[in-house]
Structure 1
Amino acid sequence: MPIKLPSTLPAYKVLSEEGVMVIGEGRAANQDIRPLKIALLNLMPKKIQTENQFARLIGATPLQIDLHLIRMSEHQTRNTAAEHMEEFYRPFSEMKDQKFDGLIITGAPIEHMPFDDVTYWQELTEVMEWTQTNVHSTFGVCWGGMAMINYFHGVQKHKLDHKAFGCFKHHNQAPTSPYLRGFSDECVIPVSRWTEMHQAEIDANGRLRTLLSSNVSGPCLIEDPDHRALYIFNHLEYDSGTLKEEYDRDVANGTPINVPDNYYPDDDPAKPPHNRWRSHAHLLYGNWINQIYQTTSYDMSLIGTDQS
């Protein structure tokens, strides 16, 4: 089954050309099934790139996905055309009465700031509370995951002396988890952040379960059953060239940055990078979608209730 997207959304053309099954709203309305209603709260500056990355992953499952794009109500992006935001995004303030099978909260390039100093932090805390009554399963990514685990459990983020930047080997800590179905014992995951979460603080909580972790970059994927949530601090959704774009940008701006570890062949930025995480990215998000499908209520009004 395909992902349902507006035919004018850039991701529709991109994914169609890649062979991902996409469907327009008219054709989807004629299918006698309930699609999974998934929302993307996109906090990244490059909105279209991020839309493509997540739509590619959640659209690769045999289920129909109805994707909704959400933004913070008052925050104005400077990196995406206002016309695009107006046509495809709805502010959270207009979405409060709706219910969703799944929600992805993306990262944001503000990890150096205390959470309370983020201009939209108050509204984001409202979003996180809202997930407990209106969303069946939430996936917090990078800063989004750090924000959620901090809000719900008080786990702190800690500044690094240098940026964790590259592709690092991660270990499968929970082979029987439905979210890691099909995962190898080890996998490579792109990492790009200036902060980290400490495993000891996560373990001390007692209600959180670490699914993936790295000896180099620390905990990566955390399950939070009490809040029907997953938190991933790294970037399986990244395209092959995303780390290269970040590296080239920092070099051009004169920002001190190391060559991303284990990314370029022979660590040579002149050589095209190899994608070694694509299959596990599809596995993780496909498993998440499948788990939602297996556990969500057909009656969406029951989402967030004891009967869901």
Structure 2
Amino acid sequence: MPIRIPSDLPAQSELHKENIFVMDTCRAATQDIRPMEVGILNLMPNKMETELQFLRLLSNTSLQVNIDLIRIDNQAPKNTPKAHMDNFYVQFDDIAYKQYDGLIVTGAPLAHLDYHDVKYWDKMQVIMDWARKNVQSTLFSCWAAHAAMFHYFGKFRGLREQKLSGIYQHFVQNEHDELLRGFDPAFFAPQSRYGEISLEDYNSVEELNVLATSKEGGAYIVASQDKRLVFVTGHPEYDPDSLKQEYQRDIQAGGEPVLPVNYFEQDDPSKKPMVSWRAHGSLLFTNWLNYYVYQTTPYDLTQLSE
């Protein structure tokens, strides 16, 4: 079964073009099964681009998945039409009564702000506390992964002098964990961040397992032993040209960004990016949905808060 999304969500037409099977709400209503309930708390400015990236990864599963697109506040994002937000997103306060099988919290371009200076930090703390009681497994991406490590375990994030940007080789550290089932021992994944939490800090938390690392960026995938928290410091959801767009944007803003490593053919930004991460990115989210969500979640989601 595919992901279930609104019939008129713009992402649906793009997914169809990519030969990805999605089901609209009308067709899904005819199937007598209990679908997975997954929320995406989208913190990125360009909501439409980010929602498409994550929907693509969630579509490669035999499960039927209902998707709620969630916004953290009612402030209009700069890079997304207000009509899109009004039609397809729900306020967190309006779904706080619900329980979810899975929740994804995206990254956000907030690397140089202290957490307490983030305008919605208070609400983020409320959501993270709510998720511990009302979500079977929550996957935090990039900035959200560091923010969750600070909130749950008090681990501070440092900042790198140069942005970690490019496609890096990562190595499986626990081949028997179900989240990495089917992974090659070494695989590639995009990174785009200034934030850094040391491997020592991750390893110091007894209930966490570091599952995959890179030499350049340290921890990449970390999960709690009960499978209810997953931290992904990179961007397996990125499109082929996402790092290119970030690089060009930083140049246009007057900066001198580092060239994303292992990304452009012959390290020439006029050439096409080399795509080497999408298979493992898709496998990561398929494994998360199957082994961390579907295989562990109660049939009656109200039991989560008991």
TM range, smaller chain: over 0.9
- What amino acid is aligned across from residue 12 of structure 1 in structure 2? Q
Whole-Å separation in 2 of the counterparts to 1:220 and 1:92: 28
Deviates more, 1:221-230 or 1:28-37: 221-230
Give the superposition deviation at 1:227. Answer: 7.3
1:117 is the counterpart of 2:117: yes
Report how far residue 255 of structure 1 moved: 1.2
Task: Work out the CA distance in 2 between the residues paired with 1:28 and 1:129.
Answer: 31
Letter in 1 for 2:184: S
Partner residue in 2 for 1:214: 214
Deviation at 1:274, TM superposition (A): 1.4
Q: Which residue of 2 aligns with 1:60?
A: 60
CA positional deviation for 1:226? 5.1
Helix, strand or coil: the match of 2:255? coil
Q: Distance in 2 between the 1:26 and 1:204 partners?
A: 48
Matches within 5 A, 1:145-164: 145-164=145-164
Native 8 Å contact 2:143 2:195 kept in 1: no
**TM-score normalised to the size of structure 1?**
0.97
2:6 corresponds to 1:14: no
Matched residue, 1:168: 168
5+ long unaligned stretches in structure 1? none
> Which of 38-47 and 221-230 deviates more?
221-230
- Matched residue, 1:275: 275
Once residues 13 and 300 of structure 1 are traced to their aligned partners in structure 2, the CA distance between those partners, rounded to angstroms, is 31
Question: Does the 8 Å contact 1:107/1:144 carry over to 2?
Answer: yes
CA offset digits 1:102-136 (Å, max 9, x no partner): 00000000011111110100001000000111111
Q: The residue matched to 1:205 in structure 2 has which SS?
A: coil
Percentage identity across aligned positions? 39
Residue 98 of structure 2 corresponds to 98
The equivalent residue for 1:42 is 42
Distance 1:150 1:30 in 2: 43
Name the CA distance, whole Å, in 2 between partners of 1:75 and 1:105.
18
Instruction: Please state how far the C-alpha of 1:76 moved relative to its aligned partner.
Output: 3.2
What is the distance in 2 between the residues matched to 1:297 and 1:134? 11
- Work out the CA distance in 2 between the residues paired with 1:26 and 1:170: 41
Q: Which stretch shifts more, 220-229 or 120-129?
A: 220-229
Q: Residue in 1 aligned with 2:185?
A: 185
Equivalent in the alignment of 2:304: 303
One-letter code of the match for 1:225?
Answer: Q
Contact 1:75–1:120 (Cα < 8 Å) also in 2: no
Opposite residue 136 of structure 2, the aligned amino acid is H
Letter in 1 for 2:150: N
Cα deviation 1:71-130 (Å, max 9, x = unaligned)? 112443111110000000111111110111000000000011111110100001000000
Number of the residue aligned with 2:143:
143
* Separation in 1, partners of 2:223, 2:62: 24
**TM-score by structure 2 length?**
0.97
Poorly superposed stretches of 4+, deviation over 3 Å: none
> Hey, what's the Cα distance between the residues in 2 that align with 1:257 and 1:53?
24
Q: Does 1:259 align with 2:262?
A: no
Residue pair 2:5, 2:22 contacting (<8 A) in 1 also: yes
Mapped partners of 1:226, 1:170: distance in 2: 24
Q: Write the distance in 1 (CA, Å) between the matches of 2:31 and 2:114.
A: 46
CA RMSD of aligned residues (A): 1.1
Please tell me the residue identity of whatever aligns with 2:157.
K
Measured in 1, the distance between the counterparts of 2:290 and 2:163 equals: 34
